[in-house]
Each structure stands twice: as C-alpha cells, then as structure tokens.
Amino acid sequence: MKIFQSKKFERSLKKLPRNIIERTIGRVFLFEQNPFDPRLDTHKLHGKLKHLWSFSVVDRIRILFEFDKSDAILLDVGDHDLYR
C-alpha cells in the first residue's frame, strides 16, 4: 500500500510539537505496514464523515484518512477538532 499526504496534512503536521511529529512519523510507518494494527485503533467514522477513517497517534491526536483503492490518503492530523 502506498501512503499519500494531502497539503492540509503536511501543514497540520508542521504545527505539532516536535515530539508529536516524531511519534506521528512512527505511526504512519506502522500504518503503512498494517493499517489495522491494534496499536493504531483504526476505525471508520460516522455521520457526515462516514466515508473517512481515523487512527490514533497519541492521547487525543488522530490522523484522518481515506482509502483510495489499494492506497491511503492522509488528510489531516490533530486533536478531535478534526471531526468538525
């Protein structure tokens, strides 16, 4: 599986503290190996975001993404405000 990053994801990532950025990179690598690794808590969203998925980086930090055929596009990263 290939992982693509949206411009919004890249901008949001740069705003995070350095230690969270490093953790995010590790989680993206883990996601690339197995998108449903239990450590990621990957789950499909509901409501108006029902076509999107999310996985956990740390505590309240999540990555919002969508599957595109056999690839994934990382759309945004941040706290639960992503879901608004």
28's tokens: 């993206």
Predicted TM-score of the model (pTM): 0.94
**Are the CB atoms for 16 and 9 separated by under 8 Å?**
no
CATH class of 3-83: alpha beta
Sheet containing 43-44, strands listed edge to edge, beginning at the edge strand earlier in sequence: 3-5, 71-78, 61-68, 53-58, 43-44
Sequential pLDDT tens for the chain (84 residues): 899 999 999 999 999 999 999 999 999 999 999 999 999 999 999 999 999 999 999 989 999 999 999 899 999 999 988 888
